[in-house]
Chain A
Amino acid sequence: MATHESAAQESHAHAAPQGFIRKWVFSLDHKVIGLQYYFLALAAVFVGMFLSLLMRIHLIWPAVALPILGDIKPETYLTLVTMHGTIMVFFVLTTAPQGGFGNYFLPIQIGAPDMAFPVLNMLSFWTTFLGFIVMIAAFFVAGGAPLHGWTGYAPLSAVQSSGPGEGLGADLWIISIAIFCIGALMGALNFITTTLDMRAKGMTMMRMPLTVWAWFVTAILGLLAFGVLLSGGILLLMDRNLGTSFFVPLITMNGQVTGHRGGSPLLWQHLFWFFGHPEVYIAILPAMGMCSQLLSVFSRKPIFGYKAMVYAIMAIGFLGFMVWGHHMFMSGMSPYTAFAFSIMTMGIGVPSAIKTFNWLGTLWGGRIRFSSPMLFAIGFVSLFVSGGISGPFLAQPVLDIQLHDTYFVPGHFHLIMGVASIFGIFAATYYWFPKMFGRMMNEKLALWHFLFSLIGTYAIFMPMHYLGMAGMPRRYSQMTEVNYLHDLIGLQKFITYAAFITIAGQLIFLVNLFWSMFKGKKASDNPWEATTLEWTTATPPPHDNFGGHTPVVNNGPYEYSVPGAPRDYVMQNDPEIEPAH
């Protein structure tokens, strides 16, 4: 035992902290940092949801004064749109699946005692946290938060006098994004180095769980994408504050010549979307990995086509960098260029279809256990397909020109990028909660939460497709007085009611989460009878993850229902199983 302990101390770069500050605040432990990311995202998601609720209220009752905010002006509505989108994309969809669960479970799943660079890991979180604080601060400065949308299109975003919120609020918005980029880059560095260099003996790349593959490829995407966004942010700040003209042409604004000349708003769009489209996959790939994992565990079957799943993740990641132009069909790009982007975009359907086929193949003939993580994993597949199917519509320039500025687009991206990813986060929360907190979540509450979430999501976002096809434009704050849209207001009201009910359903999750932390049923070390390494160690895991040992991996990650095995699963560090003949 003494030998093992000394080996563990050697293999773990830092000793277990004792004080509260070092243990829970400035912790170097990847598990604590993972929890910090998770709770940051949880706070952010409720801020983002609150903003969306204000939007929904204003859309159907434009004359109603809201508490604190009072009367909502059109520009205030745009501020809500901007901050909702930004907070959700950066501080929820990017933060929770990668920073939260990735930090907590990637090292354990590959048999490592921690991340490769624990100090950098801590800095990564606190940088992200600072970015969030700066973002929220934009609400409270003179002029308020910006109104240029989460895409920050120039010249609106590049000229301080372009509107309320485009002064200091917009500067804070850009600085926050830049800070977030730096934090995300530090995180990506750790994820990649840890995966490549710290796998336990026997943990070959092709024995890694699909979660690890997803986090790994996501980190590569982040590494390539966030640097580009950072460059755009720097240029934007220079345009706004130093008088340069990277993105601003010769224009007048509010009757005044701005003093800029020669810049190109399209240059910003190219830089932004070169980041922006991979960002979609940064949000969704971890959820794909998590759900692949869960479908196998709760079907009691090996994942269907493991290698195909790995190559599909890589293909999606690669193609994700080839398609940014499909966000710019409206910009007047050459039809030949648009055609190329269109073909590449539809090409992404191939690996996506492979993944969907394999998920269904995994479910087919399985002994399915409808536990709460599985419900959300199946819900993810449903949302991914439903949201994905409208992708090829928008991938075609002629259709996109009709649909681009309508509600069709929010309907599409909320399903596939937003809520599908959120379902991945929920699935992962229910799945790993016992390992993280040593207790089980309440399954009945989870079932209600699932029903509210799934039905509510479809009730909110499916009608948006119809609104879009009927020609209702997005980003407008008041449409109740527009004659040709009058017949669609009823559907908008339905969406708002659905949003109220769905958000109320999330309170069930919140109650379940915190109640279960303290009062939930005690969890065993492997309550789901899963095979990957996190289930071989104590619940919750010790400081060095494996209590003085380093696991040796002998099996793949999805060995379920193995013929001749003493039980219906073989763990990754069990003695090697005979290959089936």
Chain B
Amino acid sequence: MASFTTTATADDPRISGGGGILPPVVGGGGDDRRGSGLPDYATRLRRARLGLLVALTPVIMLFVSFTSAYVVRQGLPTFDPRTNAMVHDWIPVALPRLLLINTGVLVLSSLFMELARRQIKGRAALAPATTTQGASSGDQVLIPWLPITIALGLLFLFGQWTAWKQLAGNGFYVATTPSSSFVYLLTGTHAIHLMGGVLALLVAGVASLMGRSLMTRSIVVDVTAWYWHFMAGLWIYILCLLKFAS
């Protein structure tokens, strides 16, 4: 029975067919501005950072959309059947002071995240590529910035949860007023994104335990660090929006 295949092997004589000329690998970078196309550390790091930059775009769009909805909804009048008049139903929520403490925790975690990034990047730069399988950089005692960052990240999330409970305790539930809806929406969506960052750091930690190369962990930590800084900046933006634009 005839059949089809969708792959061929490297020594398939047809590989050089088609009328083209296939020289050996000489590197990538279509505009000749970059070096080798092989996935060495620099290439992988550059690619991962580019991927992160691209990935942040829809996150920005998501929060831009929420912001536009926030501004539009804030200005909308609604019909009051008791008075037969259009009234504004936007009742600003008194934000728990705990959110300020949470902000401090997140900023601090961002600082430690940066220290973790520089630490592992320094180690990766020192270690030759051939000896990085689960390598340590000698007898030097390293401050565990990464676990500290994870702990602070989890503390921030716990703090946000506590702030939600305080809001509910004050009578502001998700559907109480439009402004409380947005408080839960924005803080909740931000928390879910930050959980992604915590998960990535845990992956880096697990990768370390599984003996994955220092280079790989370095890239994961580097990209997560930039993501983490972005999340810290985003949180400050959200807090300002909720505090000053209500």
Contacts and interface: CB of A to CB of B under 8 A. Distances in A.
Nearest to A3: B24
Interface residues of B, number: 65
A231 interface: yes
A457 B47 CA distance: 44
Q: How large is the interface on A (under 10, 10 to 19, 20 to 34, 35 or more residues)?
A: 35 or more
Given A227-B61, A231-B69, A538 B14 contact: yes
B76 interface: yes
B30 A525 contact: no
B32 interface: yes
A535 B39 contact: no
B27 interface: yes
A548 B11 CA distance: 9
B78 A250 contact: yes
Nearest to B66: A231
Contact of A245 (B1, B77, B175): B175
Given A243-B174, A250-B78, A264-B76, A199 B69 contact: no
Interface stretch (A92-100, A232-240, A349-357): A232-240
Contacts of A228: 61-62, 64-65
Contacts of B6: 31-32, 35, 436-438, 540
Contacts of A151: none
B37 interface: yes
Given A8-B25, A553-B30, A196 B50 contact: yes
A287 interface: no
A475 interface: no
Interface in A19-74: 29, 31-32, 35
Contacts of A542: 7-10, 12, 15
Interface in A188-226: 188-189, 192-193, 196-205, 207-208, 223-226
Contact of A238 (B64, B72, B181): B181
Interface string B61-81: 110111011001100111101
A228 to B, nearest CB: 5
A307 to B, nearest CB: 16
Contacts of A262: 73, 76-78, 89, 178
Contacts of B73: 246, 262-264, 267
A579 B4 CA distance: 41
B21 interface: yes
B175 A242 contact: yes
Interface string A526-550: 1000000101111111111011111
27 contacts: A5-B10, A8-B10, A111-B28, A196-B50, A197-B47, A201-B32, A223-B61, A225-B61, A228-B61, A228-B62, A234-B185, A243-B174, A246-B181, A263-B73, A264-B72, A267-B72, A517-B4, A518-B3, A524-B17, A535-B18, A537-B15, A537-B20, A547-B10, A547-B15, A548-B10, A550-B25, A571-B21
Interface of B: 1-12, 14-32, 37-39, 46-47, 50-51, 54-55, 57-62, 64-66, 68-69, 72-73, 76-79, 81, 89, 174-175, 178, 181, 185, 189
Given A201-B30, A245-B181, 17 more contacts: A11-B25, A110-B30, A188-B58, A193-B51, A201-B37, A224-B57, A228-B65, A261-B78, A264-B76, A270-B72, A271-B65, A271-B68, A526-B19, A538-B8, A539-B8, A544-B10, A549-B23
